[in-house]
Amino acid sequence: MDMKKFLHLASILTLMVWGGMFLYFYVDGRVEKFLSPSFRLYALLAGIGLIILALFNFLNRERSAGVCNHEHLHGDDCQHDHHHDHGDDHGLEHSDAHHHEPEHGEGCAHDHKADCGHDHSHDHHPEHAPVATVGHVHSHDESSGSMLFNLIILLVPLLAAAAYSKDQFSSEYLAKWGRIERQMMQMRVAQANQSSPATASAKADDPTAPLTNPYTSDAIAAAEAEALGLPAPSAAPAGSAAPADTPPGNAWGTFTIEDLKKLVPQSTSGDFLLDVPQIFYTAGDRELMAVMEGIPVETTAQLMPETHDNPNQTRLKAFRLFIECCAADARPISIPVDFEKAPPDYQEMGWYRLYGTLHFVEEENGLVPLMKMNRIEPTTEPTDGLLF
């Protein structure tokens, strides 16, 4: 078997490996650790598509036998005629099958004999100037080497990554990117307090004004209108209670514990059942914070050391991973959990059910929601361990 046929078959094999890998990840369920649900179907289709593509090319390999898989590097200065007749068995192999004339320039580095059996995948202008100057490269060796390199790059990292991936992040990675999430939240809250739109800022200097949510769609619309130079849309007066038929987020006005009970389920013992990201994104909403300060909370999360803002070494970090599309954009959303003494023994990255009370504290770097812990219980990873 010559190199060209070998590379053609190697390309087919590479597609088979890729397709097989996609199918394996999907069928095995590993894909759930990598992709959000909306992307998983694409992975399945890609696996099927790659296998079909490989099989099709394999079954038709005789019609494409000897494909050299390279581009013929003709420049604009390719000033010679490529017109010679190929053998009968050659027509199909030329993807842009055409007739070459025999007047190759002196420097044309390969023999265009009838059984050359490779793909001349380029469009030839029928009016090449018949000048002997040859400004192109016909190097099979170079193209074969390049093709081999491509295939190695396609196979080695994929197979190595599939073999060595643990389908989860290390604590170092989560600590690094989790800290950034925390910092971003704190800076965001600080920014919102400084230049929050519409309703909140309008009342910021009035200590008697009721706390209002600065992040409602009204506030956003007002900011948008301001940015566009349009008149501000009419909004419910700050502080007024939302009409009964107003959907959440439009005009909350004063928010009460009764409102919270309507929104958040409670356990039999009265703990509010909240996810870590729900707690995390409460920070900055002054109405919510006012109501939720001190409430009993139960949540399920993974635990790891709290490496920042842990002055007395009494804290751990409870986190959940939130993924938009794939694990590469995973955001570790975390809150500190404070035991007010040395934390109990625990397994790093293990799953726990956490019981405590919720508080909002000003730390050195800004506002942070925090749970003061009553107890923790080890548990198994929930079915929605990754949040999408």
CB of 273 to other proteins, least distance (A): 12
Contact between 82 and other proteins by CB under 8 A: the answer reads no
CB of 296 to other proteins, least distance (A): 16
Residues in the chain, total: 388
The pair of three-digit structure tokens given for residue 2, joined into one six-digit string: 């010559």
Q: Phi, psi at residue 132, to the nearest 5°?
A: -75, -15
3-class DSSP assignment, residue 335: strand
Which are the contacts of 190, defined by CB distance < 8 A and separation ≥ 6?
366, 367
CA 346, distance to chain mean position in Å, is 30
User: In the complex with other proteins, which residue's Cβ is closer, 295 or 314?
Assistant: 295
Q: Which of 3, 17, 72, 335 is in the footprint of other proteins by CB under 8 A? A: 72
CB of 108 to other proteins, least distance (A): 14
> Nearest Cα to 80, choosing from 138, 121, 119?
138
Q: Where does this chain touch other proteins (CB under 8 A) — which range of 29-37, 103-111, 202-210, 368-376? A: 29-37
Contact between 206 and other proteins by CB under 8 A: the answer reads no
Q: Which of 4, 17, 116, 280 is in the footprint of other proteins by CB under 8 A? A: 280
CB of 367 to other proteins, least distance (A): 13
> Nearest Cα to 299, choosing from 329, 279, 285, 313?
279
Contact between 334 and other proteins by CB under 8 A: the answer reads no
User: In the complex with other proteins, which residue's Cβ is closer, 101 or 224?
Assistant: 224
Query: CA-CA distance, 321 to 323, in Å (whole number)?
Result: 7
Contact between 20 and other proteins by CB under 8 A: the answer reads no
Q: Which of 4, 64, 138, 386 is in the footprint of other proteins by CB under 8 A? A: 64
Distances in whole angstroms, Cα of residue 159 to Cα of each of 35, 152, 153: 18, 10, 10
CB of 170 to other proteins, least distance (A): 4
Contact between 16 and other proteins by CB under 8 A: the answer reads no
Dihedral (Cα; 83, 85, 91, 96), 10-degree rounding: 0
CB of 340 to other proteins, least distance (A): 26
By CB atoms closer than 10 A (0-12, 13-18, 19+), residue 269 is exposed
Which are the contacts of 132, defined by CB distance < 8 A and separation ≥ 6?
79, 80, 105, 106
Contact between 368 and other proteins by CB under 8 A: the answer reads no
Which are the contacts of 3, defined by CB distance < 8 A and separation ≥ 6?
140, 144
Q: Which of 153, 257, 273, 361 is in the footprint of other proteins by CB under 8 A? A: 153
- The position carrying tokens 């039999």 is 268
Give the CA angle between residues 114, 117, 122 to the nearest 5°: 100
CB of 314 to other proteins, least distance (A): 23
User: In the complex with other proteins, which residue's Cβ is closer, 88 or 205?
Assistant: 88
CB of 190 to other proteins, least distance (A): 8
Give how many residues touch other proteins by CB under 8 A.
127
Contact between 288 and other proteins by CB under 8 A: the answer reads yes
Contact between 159 and other proteins by CB under 8 A: the answer reads no
Q: Which of 121, 193, 254, 314 is in the footprint of other proteins by CB under 8 A? A: 121
Contact between 92 and other proteins by CB under 8 A: the answer reads yes
